[in-house]
Copies of this chain bind each other. A is one copy, B any other.
Amino acid sequence: MARRSDHSREEIKEMALAAAEHIVAMEGCQGLSARKIAKAIGYTVGTLYLVFKNLEELILHVNARTLDTLYAEMVDAANDCETPEQCVMALGNCYIHHANSYSRRWGMIYEHITPEGEEVPDWYQAKVSRMFALVERALEPMTTLSDEERKRAARVLWSGVHGICNLQHANKLDVVGESSGQELAEALISNYLKGLSA
């Protein structure tokens, strides 16, 4: 195996993350190993572990980049909407589109469970929270909702759209029947918001 040392720590980090993303896109999360990543970037596993504490940490950084991409797409998606329903639908459709387009990377966000006893780092948690904040912001015009209700609604709607994607993706429970995931998500959002304002 070639050993090169003509890259900075930051460059090696960047190369490793890009290599990991490539491996996940080709083979899924199961295909990922430190050995494969090291080989792909021409460094030893030892060097990789100078840059990342362990494979868990590397995966967390890959997931963080997935969240960044998704966040940027969702901000764009909600740019042209007017009513809360329109905005939440735009966010939901954006999520479904992303899950379908990058299914393996998207799946890794959820497959990767933080080891017991370890906390999700704050910088990562912040990336998660700003996702929910997008949905909460979309619901702000519904002025009858308390802060608590708005937060809960954002989490219910997010979980619901995620569940639809997850079942559709697993293609296991044939949960969507004749309806597409998008139709189910639209029914979810429209009826939930109708119920909330009733």
Contact = CB atoms under 8 A, between A and B. Distances in A.
Interface of A: 109-114, 120, 125, 128-129, 131-132, 151-153, 155-156, 158-164, 166-167, 170-177, 179, 183-184, 187-188, 190-196, 198
A163 B110 CA distance: 11
Contact of A190 (B174, B188, B195): B195
A164 B167 contact: no
B125 A172 contact: no
A194 B187 contact: no
B171 A113 contact: yes
Nearest to A173: B128
Contact of A163 (B163, B171, B176): B163
A174 B113 contact: no
A67 to B, nearest CB: 9
A14 to B, nearest CB: 24
Contacts of A195: 190-196, 198
Contact of A170 (B110, B164, B173, B191): B110
